[in-house]
Chain A
Amino acid sequence: MVGRRVLLVDSQANMTFALELLFAQHGFKRRVSRTGEQALAMRQEVPPDCVVLATELPFRSGFEVCEILRPRPGSSHAMMIMFPSTGTEAECVTAASFGADARLFWPILTAELIRTAHTLLELPA
């Protein structure tokens, strides 16, 4: 479990701060990005094991980022967890079609987020 890398993407500083603390408590290595653009660049530098991203981001939406990072056969990829920015039903359906590995309901339950990350990365709960 130790050393798993998570990339947290959301435009709201308060949100990423809370999530950072949360993942720190669970022993993850964290990186934080405010925009989709920045997230794509960071993932080139140090590929994360798991990306937790909001659907609404400045410049490039979470959906776009998700599509670029989506799993492709024969290449290793990060697990994608999307959490909705607005909580509409349409948002959930869209997230799935863009290839997210898991999606959460609005507003996210931190315990569920951690549980989902553990499940996707096949870590003991």
Chain B
Amino acid sequence: MSTPSRPSKDFLIALGALLAAPVAAAALIWLQSTPQEREACTLLIQSHPSSVVTTGAVLLASLAFALRWAFVRYIEPMRKLVEEVELIGTANPGYRLNLGEKGDVAHLGKVINAAAERLEQAQATLDAKIREANAIFEKERNSLAALIEQLSEGVILCASEGQILLYNRRARDLLAGPSENAGTDANASVRFGLGRSIFPLVDRQLFQETLDAAALDGQDLSTPRTTKFLMRARAGEILEVRASTVREQKGPPAGFVLLLSDITGRVARDDQQHAVISSLREELRRSLPPLKAAAETLNAFSALDSESQNRLRSVIQQETMAIAEAYAKILKTDQDLRDGHWRFERVSVSVLLSLFKRRAEQTIEVELLAGDSELNLAADSQELIEVFTHLARAIKDESGITALRATCSRKDSFIAIDFEWTGPAVPQGVLSAWESHPIEVPSSWGPTTLGEVLKRHGGSAWVEADERGSHLRLLFPESRGGQAHSIKPPGRELGGGGSFDFALPISNAGTTLREDARLTDLAYTAFDTETTGLNPTGGDQIISVGAVRIVNGRVLKEESFNQLVDPLRSITREATSIHGIEHHMVAGKPRIESVLPAFHSFASGTVLVAHNGDFDMRFIQMKEQAAGVQFEGPLLDTLLLSAVVHPNQEDQSLEEIARRLGVPLSGRHTALGDAIITGEVFLKLVGLLKERGIVTLGGAISASKRVPFSGIRY
């Protein structure tokens, strides 16, 4: 156990009181004694002055020593003890006292540690039971979160004033992009996050009318108002956005949900289709009138001279050729469009046939013959399987068979799918009649026919019979690959980009920065900087800014800011030894003048949090003018807040506080790593401040101001 560097005020008061006692006693005896006694006493002092002074001095010194001993051994350890025991009871149950090996206080420490151990065990058992109980709820919550995260559509839930309450990765990708290395202020990612307004990114005017209408709906909860509009995404994609109002209870809507779909591909294909149609229309428009006029003139006048007749025939020839060319062009584009059609996916033919076998099980026995396993079709697989099944049933009814063999093979640029059976062939006329059979496909918009599905897939069908039996052949163009579009899920690991906060009350998002705002309601930006050295006025510069947002009592690691900065000067060796950043790593990175505005936007509307924030702010303030921004908002310093809750702990370094509060240390001495640790430490401190009755922003700021700086190490 270390000794305090100097005696405390309490010790000096006690010492004064202790030394005053014998003096006061002597004065009292003196006042109450008779003149003879006083004379005898004076005589005694006069005859032995040195002995009396020595005795008095020894007496006072031993009293002072005894008091110091008692303070060092009992009183001061006791005070630390109180703080540390409180820590065990609140922020860090795993914390253990270390009061040395010898002495009564050390013994007390061991007793308390043992009690804490039992408490922690009991707590652990209880926690385990609670965890178990929560597991089911958690699982459901996680499934919902996973579901939202994996959607190919972007989802954003907002409170009525636009604050984002929930979003998935897709939404973030489409609207803002990753915030890492945001670079400059122009990057939308610095303004995207939980608790922030969606309106800078999605124009409110586009659906204001719907919100207004919903506000007038009053009591009717059954029908949410919905509207649809188009907008451009961050990277220029065309987004179809569906906005629906959300209600929690009776009254005006509590918020709205935005569903974002990227329809760029669909629009491009629509455009392509439209272009094909217009070029065909143009061709027909140009060619048909002269063709018709020439043909009519040729027919009407049999007596025309041969020269005129020949020229009219040549007109007919030319225009017919032009129409034929247009037709050839449309055929070619048709296949391209089919390959890229949003409902079509690239499917393996062998997989398609296995699915057909399972689907047709109830109707007919299907044997799959080994075919080419490398064949792919651009197809709506549901529709094709339905067509196969329908055909199998029709063949069964027509030919009275119970088993079919199915196989596939390549025929030039086509894929042949053959259904073979032993029995009478189906007449071609009957097959033609089947093509008008209605087919019901769940994924389709409406009823369709077998022929239409075939046509849509560019396919054709016919029947052949030979000595081995009969077979129905379906011919489809092979998918040329590369072009194949299917709905692609994001396919990355879960929880890396989206943010869910089911606990965020829909009505309590975005508390404004006021002194009386509760600490638990505010949003924060915990940040840290790395620098070229320790002296901002001597020209040292920021080389890295890391920050993370804290909303609703959670450090949102997915909403972070991490940017290296080119300091345009060298980095001292001492600094590099701390943060490991060397000159070549920052050369060519954005300059602080462009990074500060981005960081300013990232931190807007939040309270800044930093460890020994004065240090970072001095560097930032040096550059505020050049960057054209000013950080005027409040700053909470974890160094000072820790001193508020633990005034008797000498070590207030971030590392030590983190250890004390049970915050895991990872990524230390990178700006972002330290910012995250600072954020976690801050959240623990908010809990401890509450124990001391400090619950508002103003309370935390004024408590920080009262902290004496002396004796604090950082």
A interface with B by C-beta (< 8 Å): 12, 14-15, 17-19, 21-22, 25, 83, 85-87, 106-111
Query: Which partner residue on chain A sits nearest B289 by CB separation?
Result: A107
With both beta carbons as reference points, the residue of chain B lying nearest to A56 in the complex is identified as B285
Residues of chain A within 8 A of B289, CB atoms compared: 12, 15, 83, 106-108
> CB within 8 A of A111: which of B294, B300, B312, B318?
B300
B290 contacts A by Cβ under 8 Å? yes
Chain B stretch 471-520: residues in CB contact (< 8 A) with chain A: none
A108 near B285: Cβ-Cβ < 8 Å: no
Nearest Cβ distance between residue A111 and chain B, in whole angstroms?
7
- Name which of B293, B296, B297, B319 has the most chain A CB atoms within 10 A of its CB: B293
Q: How far is the CA of A12 from the CA of B292 in the complex (A)?
A: 13
CB–CB B300/A14 < 8 A: no
Give CA–CA (A17, B298) in the complex, Å.
12
Q: Are A25 and B300 in contact (CB under 8 A)?
A: yes
CB pair A110 B285 closer than 8 Å: no
The listed residue with most A CB atoms (<10 A of its CB), out of B289, B292, B297, B304, is B289
For B293, list chain A residues within 8 Å (CB). Answer: 15, 18-19, 22, 107-108, 110
Q: List 28 A-B contacts (CB under 8 A).
A: A12-B289, A12-B290, A14-B290, A14-B315, A14-B318, A15-B289, A15-B290, A15-B293, A17-B294, A17-B311, A17-B312, A18-B290, A18-B294, A18-B297, A18-B315, A19-B293, A21-B304, A21-B308, A21-B312, A22-B300, A25-B300, A25-B301, A25-B304, A85-B285, A106-B285, A106-B289, A110-B297, A111-B300
Q: A18-B293, A18-B294, A85-B285 are in contact. Are A110 and B319 (CB under 8 A)?
A: no
User: Which residue of B has the minimal Cβ distance to A22?
Assistant: B297
Q: How far is the CB of B451 from chain A (nearest CB, A)?
A: 30
- In the bound complex, CA of A110 to CA of B296 (Å): 7
Q: Could you give, for residues 308-342 of chain B, a 1 whenever the CB lies within 8 Å of some chain A CB and a 0 otherwise? A: 10011001001100000000000000000000000
Does B201 belong to the interface (CB within 8 Å)?
A: no
* B297 contact set on A, CB distance < 8 A: 18, 21-22, 25, 110
Instruction: Flag if A87 contacts B285 (CB, 8 Å).
Output: yes
Decide: A107 and B294 in contact? CB cutoff 8 A.
no
Give the distance to chain B from A103, nearest Cβ to Cβ, in Å.
14
Asked whether any CB of chain A lies closer than 8 Å to the CB of B266, the reply is no
Kindly identify, within residues 274 to 303 of chain B, every residue whose CB is under 8 Å from any CB belonging to chain A. Answer: 285-286, 288-290, 292-294, 296-297, 300-301
B318 and chain A: residue at smallest CB distance? A14
Contacts A17-B311, A18-B294, A111-B300 known; list 16 others, CB within 8 Å.
A14-B290, A17-B290, A18-B290, A18-B293, A18-B297, A21-B297, A21-B308, A21-B312, A22-B296, A86-B285, A87-B285, A107-B288, A108-B289, A110-B292, A110-B293, A110-B300
B307 CB to nearest A CB, Å:
11
In the complex, what distance in Å separates the CA atom of A107 from the CA atom of B293? 9
Smallest Cβ-Cβ distance to B287: which chain A residue: A14
A12 CB to closest chain B CB, in angstroms?
6
Which residues of B lie under 8 Å from residue A87 when comparing CB positions?
A: 285
Q: Is the CB of B294 within 8 A of A14?
A: yes
Q: Which of A14, A19, A83, A111 has the most CB of B within 10 A?
A: A14
- The answer for the CA separation of A110 and B300 in the assembled complex, in Å, is 9
Closest to B308 in A: A21
B318 and A108 within 8 A (CB): no
Q: Nearest Cβ in chain B — how far from A95, in angstroms?
A: 15
Q: Give the docked Cα–Cα distance between A17 and B315 (Å).
A: 9
Residue on B nearest A83 in the bound complex, by CB: B289
**Contact (Cβ within 8 A) B318 A109:** no
A109 to B290, CA, bound (A): 11
Residues of A within 8 A of B312 (CB): 17-18, 21
Give the chain A neighbours of B296 by CB distance below 8 A.
22, 109-111
Docked CA distance A83–B293 (Å): 12
Q: Which of A18, A83, A87, A106 has the most CB of B within 10 A?
A: A18
A110, B297: Cα distance in complex, Å:
7
A-B pairs, 9 with minimum CB distance? A14-B290, A18-B293, A15-B290, A110-B296, A107-B289, A18-B294, A14-B315, A107-B288, A22-B297
CB distance from B298 to the nearest CB of A (A): 9
* A21 / chain B contacts, CB cutoff of 8 Å: 297, 301, 304, 308, 312
What is the distance, in angstroms, from A73's C-beta to the closest C-beta of chain B?
A: 34
Report whether B319 and A14 are in contact in the complex, using a CB–CB cutoff of 8 Å. yes
CA distance A57 to B251 in the complex (A): 62
Q: Which residues of A contact B290 (CB under 8 A)?
A: 12, 14-15, 17-18
Q: Which residues from 81 to 113 on chain B have a C-beta closer than 8 Å to any C-beta of chain A?
A: none
Q: How many whole Å from B333's CB to the nearest CB in chain A?
A: 22
- Cα A22 to Cα B311 in complex, Å, equals 13
Minimum CB distance partner of A14 in chain B? B290
Tell me the minimal C-beta distance from B398 to chain A in angstroms: 45
Complex-state Cα separation, A95 to B318, whole angstroms: 29
Contacts of A86 in B (CB 8 A): 285
CB distance from B320 to the nearest CB of A (A): 11
CA gap between A111 and B295 in the complex, in Å: 12
A8 nearest CB across to chain B (Å): 11
Shortest CB distance A60–B (Å): 19
Contacts of B315 in A (CB 8 A): 14, 17-18
Q: Which residue from chain A places its CB closest to the CB of B301 in the assembled complex?
A: A25
> How far does the alpha carbon of A111 sit from the alpha carbon of B289 in the complex, in Å?
13
By CB atoms of chain B within 10 A, which of A22, A83, A86, A106 has the most? A22
Bound CA–CA A17/B286 (angstroms): 14
In the bound complex, CA of A124 to CA of B285 (Å)? 32
- Closest residue of chain B to A108, judged by CB? B289
Determine the distance from Cα of A25 to Cα of B300 in the docked complex, in whole angstroms: 9
0/1 interface trace, chain B 623-663, chain A, CB 8 Å (1 if under): 00000000000000000000000000000000000000000
